[in-house]
């Protein structure tokens, strides 16, 4: 995927660095809805999604921060799953 084909919420993110976005752009195929749904029950994901019920902006920011942690560990697939929640 090219940088310009990244979803706008990724391209315009102030949380993710250019290097993070470059890593995300290197993935060939985005995870499926089933793959994304499968991580919803992980404790660290549940904590984030439950903590910001009703505050979508804060929720999105914290999900991007969590995705950044995965990118720092070179787990691009997991980062995408978190971003697509």
Which pLDDT tens digit goes with each residue over 28-74? Answer: 899 999 999 999 999 999 998 899 889 999 999 999 999 999 999 99
Res. 4: pLDDT tops 90: no
pTM: 0.91
Q: Which domain holds residue 25?
A: 3-83
Query: Minimal CA–CA distance to 64: which of 1, 6, 24, 13?
Result: 13
Evaluate whether 21 touches 10 at the Cβ level (below 8 Å). Answer: yes
Kindly give, in sequence order, each residue whose CB lies less than 8 Å from that of residue 47, ignoring residues fewer than 6 positions away: none
Query: Which band of pLDDT confidence, cut at 50, 70 and 90, is reported for residue 15?
Result: very high
**How many domains is the chain partitioned into structurally?**
1
Q: 3-class SS at 18? A: helix
Evaluate whether 25 touches 6 at the Cβ level (below 8 Å). Answer: yes
């Amino acid at each position: 995927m090219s940088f310009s084909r990244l979803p706008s919420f990724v391209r315009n993110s102030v949380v993710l660095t250019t290097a993070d976005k470059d890593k995300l752009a290197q993935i060939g195929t985005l995870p499926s809805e089933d793959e994304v749904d499968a991580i919803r029950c992980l404790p660290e994901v549940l904590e984030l999604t439950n903590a910001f019920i009703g505050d979508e902006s804060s929720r999105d920011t914290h999900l991007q921060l969590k995705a950044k942690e995965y990118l720092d560990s070179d787990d691009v697939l997991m980062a995408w799953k978190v971003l697509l929640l």
